[in-house]
Amino acid sequence: TNRTLLALGATEVSDLQSLAASTKVLFLCLPNADTVELVMGDLLPYLQPGTLVIDTTTSLPETSQSLNERLAKIGVDFIDAPVTGGPPAAEKGTLTTMLGGSSNACESAMPLIRHYSTTLVRFGASGAGNRAKLIHNFITMGHVALIVEAFRRCDRSSIDRTAMYEVMSNGGADSATLRKMLPSAFSGTFDGHAFSLANAAKDVDYIARMAAKMGEESALIAALHDIFRPGNCNSPRQQLYQRIT
């Protein structure tokens, strides 16, 4: 139990039934879509009509769509509201939120979400927030892969890393990911981009599954899927990515 939260006025409950009975708004922030389905499956029998469920998990669009349909039958609103910005933005309350759900449900959720998020964008119906987040993370994971590979080339080409970073951060290769990753990596801490390899693998897998459902193939998605695949964790490249991410 987080005693700091209790000291700030949070209420502790001992079971899901008590949780469902004591709140009209329920936030989820879970590791993956399977866990969302498991938790919501246990909660569903106890949720009261009029409850609003806000899921900030980076999840699968079809998971959100299925839950939205099931919960609507008992008068419960569900929106997918994944976030980006990482721990620093979370601590400052400046996260970015991507919303998917009915316009009424999203409007009801926005005043609450603004307590931790300064940029809120509704992308459409249920699952749209998840799709937007996966597209966002596809770009981010692509940046991570390109940055790591580029600086491997620097090392093997006798190109000074810090000089290259100065050029990149002031040129067309600049990005938020570059600025998060490199300064701390140069100092040997490797914590600038606070995102685990396991989460990267999960997100790229979800991106690949989303593309497959659209009937599309992508060489870039396939390459990222191979790079971040959990089964490759003992390879030299994976060990390097583990240090960076």
Structurally, the chain folds into a number of domains equal to 2
Q: What is the pLDDT of residue 230?
A: 65
Specify whether 207 is located in the same domain as 96: no
Q: What is the pLDDT of residue 9?
A: 87
Q: What is the pLDDT of residue 245?
A: 44
Full domain range(s) for residue 231: 132-244
Domain of 96: which CATH number? 3.40.50.720
Specify whether 119 is located in the same domain as 19: yes
User: At which of 125, 159, 179 does a domain end?
Assistant: 125
Specify whether 149 is located in the same domain as 89: no
Q: What is the pLDDT of residue 103?
A: 98
Using CA atoms, how far residue 197 sits from 101, 132, 238, in Å, is 29, 21, 9
Specify whether 14 is located in the same domain as 69: yes
Specify whether 91 is located in the same domain as 191: no
Q: Which residues of the chain have pLDDT under 70?
A: 1-3, 190-194, 230-245
Q: Could you give the residue ranges of the DSSP H alpha helices within the chain?
A: 3-7, 16-22, 33-43, 61-72, 86-92, 103-113, 128-156, 161-169, 176-186, 197-213, 219-228, 236-244
User: What's the pTM?
Assistant: 0.88
Q: What is the pLDDT of residue 228?
A: 83
